Amino acid sequence: MLFIGICGASGSGKSTLSEELVRAVGAVCTVINQDAYYFDYPHLSYEERCALNFDEPRIFDHDTLLEDIMQLMAGHSIPRRAYDFTRHARAQSTEMIHPGEVLILEGIHAFYDKRLYEKMFLKLYINVEPDICLLRRINRDIKERARSIDSISAQYLATVKPMYDKYIRNYIHQADVIVTRGGKNARIVEILAGYLRDSLES
C-alpha cells in the first residue's frame, strides 16, 4: 500500500486533488479526510462549540487517526468517521472503509503528526493564493455547512488566517511535491498518477 499525504490551506483543493488522483491512478484507492477526526465536545453548548478554534492542530484526534491509518495499512477495514459541520459535532456513520492499493490522507494539518508523516510514501502540498482559498471557502461553507457570510468572516479573521500563518503555510517545506493552481491541475495529476502506477507495479 502507498500512503499519500495531501496538505494545504482550507479551500486550496485538497479534496479535489484526492478525487482527481483516485480517478487517474486506476487502482483501488482509499481516501481519509482529516476533518472527520475533530475531537467531540458533547459537554459544550452549540455556542461554545462555535467558538472553538477548528484550525488549530490540537483540535484533531491524532491518536485515533493514526490507529485507523495503521489498521488500513495492515489490511484491515475501519469504520468511516463522520463530522457534522452544521452542529460542530461528530456524526454517526455505518459505512466501512476498506484498504486499497493507495491510501490518501488529506487535511490542513496532514503533516502535523510526525508519526503519520514519517509513514507517508509521498507528501503533496497544494499552494494556492490565500484570497482564492477564501473565496472557495466562502462558497463551500454557505452551500455545504449552512454558514453565514458574517460567521465565515469572523472565523477567518479569528482563527483561519492566524493558524495558516503560524502552521499551515510552513508545511510546504515538508512536501515532496508542491502542487499549484489547485486540485484540478490536470498535468500534475497525470504526472502524479503515472508515478504512483509505476510505484505500484514495481
Number of domains in the chain: 1
Please, is 58 exposed, middle or buried when counting C-beta atoms within 10 Å of its C-beta (0-12, 13-18, 19+)? exposed
> Could you tell me if residue 162 is inside a domain?
yes
pLDDT score, position 186: 87
Predicted confidence band at 152 (pLDDT cuts at 50, 70, 90)? confident
CB atoms within 10 A of CB 126: 27
Half-sphere exposure for 82 (CA within 13 Å, toward CB): 12
In this prediction the pTM is 0.91
pLDDT score, position 134: 83
pLDDT score, position 188: 92
**Average pLDDT value for the chain:** 92
> Could you tell me if residue 200 is inside a domain?
no
Average pLDDT rounded to a whole number, residues 170-187: 91
For residue 2, give the C-alpha cell.
502507498
> Could you tell me if residue 72 is inside a domain?
yes
Angle between helices 186-201 and 14-25 (to 10 degrees): 50
> Could you tell me if residue 64 is inside a domain?
yes
Alpha helices for the chain (secondary structure H): 14-25, 46-50, 62-73, 114-117, 130-144, 149-155, 161-166, 186-201
> Could you tell me if residue 7 is inside a domain?
yes
> Could you tell me if residue 201 is inside a domain?
no
Q: d(Cα 167, Cα 188) in Å, to the nearest integer? A: 25
For residue 61, give the C-alpha cell.
484526534
Task: Summarize pLDDT for 23-50 with one digit per residue, the tens.
Answer: 999 888 999 999 999 999 989 998 899 8
Range of the domain at 74: 2-194
pLDDT score, position 135: 86
> Could you tell me if residue 11 is inside a domain?
yes
Task: Summarize pLDDT for 51-93 with one digit per residue, the tens.
Answer: 899 999 999 999 999 999 999 999 999 999 999 888 888 888 8
Instruction: Identify whether the C-beta of residue 113 lies closer than 8 Å to the C-beta of residue 102.
Output: no
> Could you tell me if residue 202 is inside a domain?
no
pLDDT score, position 183: 81
pLDDT score, position 169: 95
Please, is 197 exposed, middle or buried when counting C-beta atoms within 10 Å of its C-beta (0-12, 13-18, 19+)? middle
CATH number of the domain that residue 142 is part of: 3.40.50.300
pLDDT score, position 143: 81
